[in-house]
A and B are shown apart, each in its own frame.
Chain A
Amino acid sequence: MTETLTIIPISSYLAFCSALFAIGVVGVLIKRNALVILMSIELMINSVNLLLAAFATYMNDPAGQVFVFFIMVVAAAEVAIGLAIIVLIFRTTHSIDIDVLNKLKW
């Protein structure tokens, strides 16, 4: 069983996670819906998380995987608060278009 499984080089993971992170950055830049921007941020968090887990596994260090677990916990709390804020914004302004929500910009 173990002989048939080949090891994927870490550079493949680096390329894949870089692509996923870049897609997340593009999503934050081009979207106007605050909800989709939050989703793009989740995508970026996940790409970095996966890369951390890959390095932890390849270096045989369990501490890295523990930190991935903690990052997931913090991301869950962040999403809960972020969505609550989005609901609150929608209730007061009836829009979650970020081009409308520019009161704090200037």
Chain B
Amino acid sequence: MFTRYLFYFLCILALYSAVMVLLSRKPIHSVLYLTLAFFAIAGHYVLLNAQFLAVVHVIVYAGAIMVLFLFTVMLLNLNREERSQKAGWIKAAAMVTGGLLMLVLTGVFRGYDIAVVKNPVLTQIGLVKDLGKILFSDYLVPFELTSVLFLTAMVGAVLLGKKEQI
């Protein structure tokens, strides 16, 4: 029962902060609400007993990506309160589109269930020990390729951020 209450609490927290990301006028408030949403999603990972993913999520998203967003907002002085939303009819159309998408997705997935559900507490696949063994045996090559991807991204970001022409 406790798990269920926790699940609903995290759902409401995540959805509330996601809506507030859109409703905030200032970009910095959006960033802070998005951080709250990411922490709620990290709580969902803990609830799924995916501890490795929860820790990686907090480190990568709340630790790295949100700091990057905050730096960009503060460095560029973008925190001006301006008309940050589109015209009324576009907003209404976007709301209808989002609602219809939500309706279609829930309609498609309604009544779907996995035949044999494993209890997340008993499976233990999300622990660092088991996931690390798989990551460094079956998925070693993709794991090494991600380091090349990061190097490429870093070189690209530095090159884009350079002031003078190349």
Complex: chain A residue closest to B99, CB-CB: A22
Chain B interface, >50% SS class: helix
* Chain B residues within 8 Å of A12, by CB: 7, 11
B48 touches A54 (CB 8 A): yes
Contact among B18, B78, B125, B130 with A35 in the assembled complex (CB-CB below 8 Å): B78
Cβ proximity bits A41-77 to B, threshold 8 Å, 1 near / 0 not: 0110010001001111111111101101110111111
Interface residue A2 (Cβ < 8 Å from any Cβ of B): yes
- Contacts A30-B90, A60-B123, A84-B161 hold; do A15 and B2 have CB atoms under 8 A apart? no
Tally of chain A residues near chain B (CB < 8 A): 73
Measured as residues with beta carbon below 8 angstroms from the partner, the interface class of chain B is 35 or more
- Within 8 Å CB of B126, what residues of A? 53, 57, 62, 65
Please give me the residue from chain B that is nearest to A4 by CB atom: B2
In residues 20-38 of chain A, which contact B (Cβ within 8 Å)?
A: 20-27, 29-33, 35-36, 38
Q: Does A101 contact B (CB under 8 A)?
A: no
A62 near B69 (CB under 8 angstroms)?
no
A: which residues have CB within 8 A of B? 1-2, 4-12, 14-16, 18-27, 29-33, 35-36, 38-40, 42-43, 46, 50, 53-63, 65-66, 68-70, 72-81, 83-88, 90, 96, 99
Interchain Cβ contacts under 8 Å between A and B, 22 examples:
A2-B122, A5-B121, A6-B3, A9-B113, A16-B11, A19-B15, A21-B105, A29-B93, A29-B94, A30-B85, A30-B94, A43-B37, A46-B37, A50-B44, A54-B44, A63-B139, A65-B126, A66-B138, A68-B53, A73-B146, A76-B150, A81-B157
